[in-house]
Amino acid sequence: RTAVGCLLELAFRVAAGEVKNGFAVIRPPGHHAEESTAMGFCFFNSVAIAAKLLQQKLSVGRVL
């Protein structure tokens, strides 16, 4: 949860223009997590969550 929260904070600050860019020092996106299944110690796919929330909250279109 901490990793997801850190990534969300960074993503929203970049999207809002508060910071120019950023780098989240967390395990790779989802590391082992599948779209709807946790695996190993990976319960959340951090990048997928961040992308979805940016689309929902800030009407961001495509995410690379």
Q: Which residues are catalytic?
A: 32
Q: In angstroms, rounded to a whole number, what is the distance separating the alpha carbons of residues 32 and 14?
A: 26
Report the residue count for the chain. Answer: 64
Strand partners for 39: 42
Tokens of 3: 């990793």
